[in-house]
Amino acid sequence: MNPNKSKAIGGILIILLVLISLFSVKFGAVTISIQEIWSSLSHILEGTEITDLNERIFMQIRLPRVIMGIFVGAALAVGGVLMQALFRNPIVEPGLIGTSSGAAFGAALYFVLGATFGFHFGEWTLPIAACIGGILSTLMVFYLSQSREGGKSSVVSLLLTGIAINALFLSGVGFLSYIARDPQARSITFWNLGTLSGSYWEGLYLVAGVTVCCVLISLRYAKQLNALMLGEQEAQLLGISIFQLKIKILLVNVVMVAVATAFVGVIGFVGLIVPHLLRMLNGSDNRFLIWAGALLGAIILTGADLTARLLLAPAELPIGIVTSLIGVPVFIILLRRSNYFF
């Protein structure tokens, strides 16, 4: 890794992100012209009412959706970087260790029980429910996969425990949608497949705020995560409190991923491929992986969302299906490569 290469990659990623975001606001079920984008932005600046239909589509649907994609992509990718660094393994991502399915379960529970018993504490109820679900499932996987001797997580036991806990929480989601009434069941199905179509400005502020905070916090721990590459014992000999580091990183990751999942549903594989592509480009320094991961994650998710909208236009595919279609082959290639040890 050298600093000039990092800067070059950063520059290219920013240009790509701007380009793909422009494409993404422009194209979809309705194509929006540059003039319309320009005119609706100037309406906002002047504080005047938007009357044109296309301009309203742009401001209320298209723009929040694209920006939501950017932040969710960043959150998922950085979550992947953190989990891989923490578990010292290149095939871990938030979806595989139960965070996403737990969050979906928490959200489904809120939908069904909230509708049945009528509790609702405003805007924050849904993300908090998703967060609690995500924290619960991640802790279960983390705790159950620790071997009794020495407290180390072997990767095989980690992944297998992840599969089991994922199955548990997804069947919980299945049960809830089975007992749910129609509108609730539809909301639940949306979690499992993931879509950015429900994005709105208030939710976007929350996701953006949480993601930015968590990424900044992660950058502070990049050095310690680098030391962890040597193994937990060696990192401790370098003066790092492993237990505290684990708790902090898990917490940051769970909050970031669970909040994103609360608004857009379960989107897999972004957290897996992004850190990997970056490592192939420029090595494994976590300081680089975190900020570049945020950018590349944003690019990939925005691209996937654009694909999901255009492939069957005017209908659209759930984005989780698109990322899985890209992610699964990459995952299999990783498993078959030999320059990683497991």
Partner 1 sequence: MITLENLSFEKSGKQLVQDVSANFEKGKMHLILGPNGAGKSTLIKLISGELKPSNGTVLMDEKNLHHISIKEQAKIRAVLSQNIELSFPLDVSQVVLMGRFPHYEGSPNSLDMRICEESMKLFRVDEMRDRNYLTLSGGEKQRVQFARVFAQIWQPVQGKSRLLLLDEPLTFLDVFYQYDLMDKIREFMVENPDLTVLGVVHDLNIAAKYSDTIMLLKNSKVFAKGASDDVLNEKNIYEVFGVVVENKFEIK
> Which residues of the chain form contacts with partner 1 (CB under 8 A)?
1, 84, 88-90, 223-224, 226-231, 233-234, 236-241, 279, 283-285, 339, 341
CB nearer to partner 1: pick between 50 and 240: 240
Smallest distance, partner 1 to C-beta of residue 270, A:
19
Q: How far is the CB of 298 from partner 1 (least distance, A)?
A: 23
- Min dist CB 62 to partner 1, Å, is 38
d(CA 281, CA 233): 29
In the complex, what is the shortest distance from the CB of residue 142 to partner 1, in angstroms, rounded to a whole number? 17
Number of neighbouring beta carbons within 10 Å of residue 287: 16
- CB-nearer residue toward partner 1: 84 or 192: 84
Signed CA dihedral, 216, 217, 218, 223: sign only:
positive
State which residue, 22 or 238, has the beta carbon closest to partner 1. 238
Q: Which is nearer to partner 1, 279 or 309 (CB)?
A: 279
Alpha-carbon separation of residue 165 from 73, 190, 252 (angstroms): 24, 20, 20
Q: Of 98, 97, 139, 115, whose CA–CA distance to 188 is shortest?
A: 115
Number of Cβ within a 10 Å radius of residue 179: 10
Of 64 and 90, the one with the shorter C-beta distance to partner 1 is: 90
Closest CA to 77 of 227, 242, 211, 213: 211
Nearer to partner 1, 1 or 333 (CB): 1
Write down the number of H helices and E strands in the chain. Answer: 15, 0
The CA distance from 304 to 317, in Å, is 10
Q: How far is the CB of 265 from partner 1 (least distance, A)?
A: 30
Give the residues across from 153 on adjacent strands.
146
Burial class (CB in 10 A: 0-12, 13-18, 19+), 332: exposed
- Residue 9 vs 208, nearer CB to partner 1: 9
Taking the complex as a whole, the smallest distance from the CB of residue 314 to partner 1 amounts, in Å, to 44
Q: How far is the CB of 257 from partner 1 (least distance, A)?
A: 21
Q: Which is nearer to partner 1, 285 or 316 (CB)?
A: 285
Smallest distance from partner 1 to CB 303, Å:
26
Q: Which two three-digit tokens encode residue 297?
A: 């994650």
What tokens appear for 6 in the block?
């990092």
Phi-psi region of 98 (alpha: psi -120 to 50; beta: other; left: phi over 0): left
CA separation, residue 242 to residues 225, 247, 274 (Å): 10, 9, 25
Side chain identity, residue 88: R
